[in-house]
């Protein structure tokens, strides 16, 4: 493991350069360029705020705040978006860079790391805008906001562990990627993101303990909507799952790293 980290550190220039190049290519042929990285998330925040708070007057149970549902919705969708981008791109990264893997010799784990860096870059832009909205609407949670750091660390570990595992399997069994594309759509709607968990029947609410993304998104919503510290004990199961997934992903990758290029 130590050797792996040294190897990745030795290729840090390649990783940073690739992440930067990928971000630039995303907007290279547009007139506004990187401005779209700000306009798209800004439009999403404005639409959710105006539609749900001003037009539909949507409210959360027991919360007397015109912006509560908009904040609830944005915090859930942004958190899910980070998870979805990391996992979805990590599961296809070896296939997308097949020519690069065949032509160059470099640590293969550089590719998932580049995925995480790009996802975090996109997320940091949109979440910064969301934070500005919280400040301007007088809904910033204050010191509790710092609790998001460990929550996002758990989220990233869970996402990359799952993403690398699926990425390796997807090289040998292409149905894995197709199946997960369908599965993640059901997963989204089975997670309380656009609806509060309180509206669900008691029997369904009890089953949320088996959904690892529920505890992460619920922690973010608790911080940003209710401005409360999350219940850290609720995050212990998903933290354990994230660590196990990362260990499994590394073992799976090490066992099949030499076969990936041949299969591609």
pLDDT digits (tens, 9 = 90+) for 91-136: 988 888 878 777 777 778 888 899 999 999 889 988 988 899 899 8
Is the pLDDT confidence value at 57 over 60? no
Is the pLDDT confidence value at 143 over 90? yes
Give the separation between CA 194 and CA 169, rounded to whole angstroms.
Answer: 31
Is the pLDDT confidence value at 148 over 90? yes
Give the separation between CA 56 and CA 54, rounded to whole angstroms.
Answer: 6
Give the separation between CA 132 and CA 138, rounded to whole angstroms.
Answer: 10
Please state, for a pLDDT cut of 70, what percent of the chain lies above it.
Answer: 86
* pTM higher than 0.85: yes
DSSP state of 175: H
Average pLDDT over residues 170-177: 86
Is the pLDDT confidence value at 1 over 70? no
- The count of structural domains within the chain is 1
pLDDT digits (tens, 9 = 90+) for 205-232: 888 889 999 999 999 999 999 899 999 9
130 close to 205: Cβ distance less than 8 angstroms: no
Task: Tell me the residue range of the domain where 30 lies.
Answer: 2-263
230 close to 219: Cβ distance less than 8 angstroms: yes
Token reading at 57: 């007057």
Token reading at 101: 């893997």
Give the separation between CA 167 and CA 90, rounded to whole angstroms.
Answer: 6
Is the pLDDT confidence value at 28 over 70? no
Average pLDDT, the chain: 84
Give the separation between CA 196 and CA 192, rounded to whole angstroms.
Answer: 6
């Amino acid at each position: 493991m130590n050797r792996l980290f040294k190897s990745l550190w030795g290729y840090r220039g390649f990783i940073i350069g690739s992440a930067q190049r990928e971000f630039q290519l995303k907007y290279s042929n547009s007139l506004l360029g990187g401005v779209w990285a700000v306009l798209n998330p800004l439009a999403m925040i404005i639409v959710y705020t105006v539609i749900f708070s001003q037009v539909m007057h949507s409210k959360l149970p027991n919360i007397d705040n015109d912006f509560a549902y908009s904040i609830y919705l944005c915090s859930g969708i942004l958190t899910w978006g980070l998870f979805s981008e990391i996992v979805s791109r990590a599961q296809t990264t070896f296939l997308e860079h097949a020519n690069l893997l065949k032509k160059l010799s470099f640590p293969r784990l550089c590719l998932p790391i580049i995925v995480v860096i790009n996802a975090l870059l996109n997320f940091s832009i949109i979440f910064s805008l969301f934070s500005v909205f919280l400040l301007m609407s007088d809904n910033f949670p204050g010191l509790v906001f710092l609790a998001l750091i460990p929550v996002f660390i758990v989220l990233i570990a869970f996402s990359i562990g799952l993403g690398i595992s699926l990425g390796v399997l997807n090289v040998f069994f292409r149905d894995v990627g197709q199946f997960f594309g369908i599965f993640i759509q059901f997963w989204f709607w089975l997670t309380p993101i656009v609806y509060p968990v309180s509206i669900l029947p008691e029997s369904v609410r009890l089953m949320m303990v088996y959904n690892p993304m529920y505890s992460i998104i619920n922690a973010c919503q608790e911080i940003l909507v209710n401005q409360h510290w999350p219940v850290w004990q609720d995050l212990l199961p998903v933290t354990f799952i994230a660590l196990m997934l990362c260990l499994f992903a590394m073992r799976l990758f090490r066992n099949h790293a030499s076969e990936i290029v041949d299969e591609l």
